[in-house]
Each structure stands twice: as structure tokens, then as C-alpha cells.
Amino acid sequence: MANLASDRANSDQFLFERDGSAQGLTRRSVLGGISALSAGVLLPEISQAKPAVPYGVATQIEHFRDDPVYRAKLLQYCDNIVPMNALKWASLRHTEGKFDFSAADQLIEFAEQNKCGTHGHTLLWYDYNPDWVNAIDDAKTAEKVLVEHIETVVDRYKGRIPTWDVVNEVIAHDPRWFGQWREGMWLKLLGPAHVDIAFRAAARTDPNAELIINDYDLANWGSRFNKRRAIMLDLVRHLQDQNIPVHGVGMQAHLYAEREVDHKQVVKFMRDLKALGVDVWVSELDFIDWKLSADHSVRDRAVAQVATQFLDAVFEGGPPRAVTTWGISDRHTWITNTFPRDDGLSSRALPLDENYQEKPLMQVLRGYLAMRA
């Protein structure tokens, strides 16, 4: 993660052009009227006819096991359970010869028992791999291990996990200068074909699963983001040209609270994807508030406003198939460690605070999603 964090930390900043803050009214707020005012936050109008878009939560096995309140909040709010790390290679493949499905099974069974949906994350990533995988140094072994892994994992959950993030973060962080591909072991050993290999293996194993290509930094204003969106469209077209099934794009949406969402380009991106016949999943929504002042209400207001800007655009061009937040409570969020604040305070990235109380972000989500609570 160190790489990822420093890449993102050092990336060019496309700060708000308009007024240097996150105060802009969104189109939805302006056109649709303001339905509620809470803690000074402009909330989106809650439409009677809103599409039934499910709300997912990326779930961490350690908190799931240790914290009954965490489990209760999952049941209270969410439609889909997405194992946050339990289906990644480092969780499943401690050693080469064996798969450890204990954590993933527990989360998937919990979802099934409670009539929640599930979503698989992820079959290929440059990160979060065990040492023995990182040590592979020839193409033949890499392909064999990759295909075996995907066949085994997808087969185990066939008919139970309906959607898979087949490949994760294959686009370069800043593709304007050094080419389109994110560096990593799969690219190094197999070249761009690693994407095709992964999708083919997943499609062969579960022809009914919906197969998704997942990536970050697809929502903001600026040339780096334009380029990333263009590459994502090219990747979808490339798979389709090879007759490789691809059903969706995951927009992670780890959104910088101080950056402007590019409404026009996000709507266009959604429509371009629809024209290609693929759906969009908002797959990892949370908010990076490291540049905002310490004050909770300032941060919560900025987060709610950026969330509204983003969801406005995604629903105007969409709707998406699901919106998943990357965790549910600020008590447990990767943002605090990966994007640390100078003042050392923890991040207010998620819809519930550290004490599991709702923040304005939850109210924003309710305005768009078919939420239980």
C-alpha cells in the first residue's frame, strides 16, 4: 500500500477551480430543490421514483468477528456484503499448495443467511499478494498460477457470488506520461494479455457471472482523469473486440474531498459505457479528507457535498447497478492510515462515525439508494 499511498499523495492536485473550497451547489440541489437541511448540509431531493439501487458495504473479517455492533450495522443498512480483503490472494493463498477460504466463506454465508447480495473482490491485483506469488519470475508459471487461482475461486462461489471484480487497478496512476498500464508483477510477466487471461478464465468458470473491470480516479476534473476514463473505455472495447465477456466497470470512487467532480465528464462516461452495453458499479466509495480542517462539521459538510456531486452525475448518466462504501464506520477505514492527516486525526471517510452514529453522508446515500434503514 505504501506505493499506492505515495503515488496518490504526490499526484497533481486538481483543486476546486471555482472558489478553492467544496462549497459549490450541485446541479441536483439547484434543479431539484433542497429537501432537507441537516447540520448545515444541503441534502439531495429524495425522489419517489428512485431506482432500487442496492447499497453495499465492504466488510472486514476481523471486525466482523470481533465487534457485534459492526455486524448489527451491516444488517441494519446494507443490501450487499463485499468481502474487503478476504477474497484477495494474500488472504486465500498463504501457501502455494492450499486455499484458505475460511474468512471468505464466513462472510458469504452471513450474506446468504441474511438475504444480502454479494460481490467478489478481486481476482487479480498488483498488490496484496503473498510473497510466494510476488516471487514468481517466469511467464509460464505466472499464467498457470493465475488461471488455477481464478478457476478455483470462481468455481467455489459459482451461483453464489454473481459479480466479480476480475481485474483491479490495471490503469497507470498517471497515464499521461508513462503509458497506460499500472506496473506490477502480472504486467511484467504476462504483458497486457494478463487482463484477457483473467477475464477468459473467469468467464469459462462461471458463464453466468457478471465480470467487472475495477479502477480508481475516474470521477474528477482534469487531464489525468480524462485520460483514465478514456483508457477504461478502450479496455472495455478491447475485451469486446476479442469476444471476451465484460459486463461492467467498477468506479472505486475513493474521492478527494477537496477536488471537483467533473459532472459533465462523469455523465458522458456513464453514457459511453451504456452505449458499449456495460453497466457501472460504484465499488469503493469513501472520502479522503486529509486536506480539510479538523472541524467535524466542516469535513462532514464537504464530504456530503462531494458525495452529492458525484452521485448526481452517476445517476444522471446511469443509474449504477450498486453503490458500495469501502467500510461503514470511521472506526475502521483504510483512509486514516493511507492518507494520514498532518494533525494525526482520524478520517471521516464513511457514512457512520467512530461511534456508529449517522453522519450527513448517510443521509445523502439515502437520497439515492434503496436503503434498508
Active site positions, annotated? 169, 284
**Which residue lies nearer to ligand XIL by CB, 43 or 232?**
232
Place of cell 453503490: 323
Environment class of 293 (CB within 10 Å of its CB; exposed 0-12, middle 13-18, buried 19+): exposed
> Nearest distance from residue 183's CB to ligand XIL, in Å?
16
> Nearest distance from residue 252's CB to ligand XIL, in Å?
6
336 binds ligand XIL (CB under 6 A): no
Contact code string over 190-219 relative to ligand XIL, x by CB under 6 A: ------------------------------
Q: How far apart are CA 202 and CA 254, in angstroms?
A: 26
334 binds ligand XIL (CB under 6 A): yes
Helices (H), 178-280: 185-190, 193-205, 223-241, 263-275
Contact code string over 274-313 relative to ligand XIL, x by CB under 6 A: ----------x-----------------------------
Q: How far apart are CA 175 and CA 173, in angstroms?
A: 6
Contact code string over 151-190 relative to ligand XIL, x by CB under 6 A: -----------------xx---------------------
**Which residue lies nearer to ligand XIL by CB, 225 or 326?**
326
> Is 188 within 8 Å of 147 (Cβ atoms)?
no
> Nearest distance from residue 173's CB to ligand XIL, in Å?
12
Sequence-distant (6+) residues with CB within 8 A of 118 are: 80, 81, 82, 83, 107, 108, 111, 112, 157, 160, 161, 162
The amino acid at 356 = Y
1 binds ligand XIL (CB under 6 A): yes
> Is 116 within 8 Å of 371 (Cβ atoms)?
no
Binding residues among 234-263 for ligand XIL as defined by CB under 6 A? 252
123 binds ligand XIL (CB under 6 A): no
From start to end of the chain, where are the E strands? Answer: 37-38, 41-42, 55-59, 80-83, 117-118, 120-121, 163-168, 210-215, 248-251, 254-256, 279-288, 322-325
> Nearest distance from residue 120's CB to ligand XIL, in Å?
12
Of the CA atoms within 13 Å of residue 162, those in its CB half-sphere come to 9
Residue from 26, 29, 59, 85 in contact with ligand XIL (CB under 6 A): 85
Residue from 42, 53, 74, 84 in contact with ligand XIL (CB under 6 A): 84
Selection from 209, 92, 205, 110 nearest residue 159 by Cα: 209
* Percent helix, percent strand, percent coil in the chain, to nearest 5: 40, 15, 40
> Is 216 within 8 Å of 252 (Cβ atoms)?
yes
> Nearest distance from residue 334's CB to ligand XIL, in Å?
4
> Nearest distance from residue 236's CB to ligand XIL, in Å?
18
**Which residue lies nearer to ligand XIL by CB, 169 or 260?**
169
> Is 202 within 8 Å of 146 (Cβ atoms)?
no
Residue number of the CB closest to ligand XIL reads 334
**Which residue lies nearer to ligand XIL by CB, 1 or 373?**
1
> Nearest distance from residue 34's CB to ligand XIL, in Å?
33
130 binds ligand XIL (CB under 6 A): no
**Which residue lies nearer to ligand XIL by CB, 308 or 324?**
324
Q: How far apart are CA 132 and CA 150, in angstroms?
A: 17
Number of residues that bind ligand XIL (CB under 6 A): 10
Residue from 128, 130, 145, 240 in contact with ligand XIL (CB under 6 A): 128
Per-position DSSP letters for 197-224, written without gaps between them: HHHHHHHHH-TTSEEEEEES--SBSSHH
Q: Where along the sequence are the contacts to ligand XIL (CB under 6 A)?
A: 1, 84-85, 128, 168-169, 252, 284, 326, 334
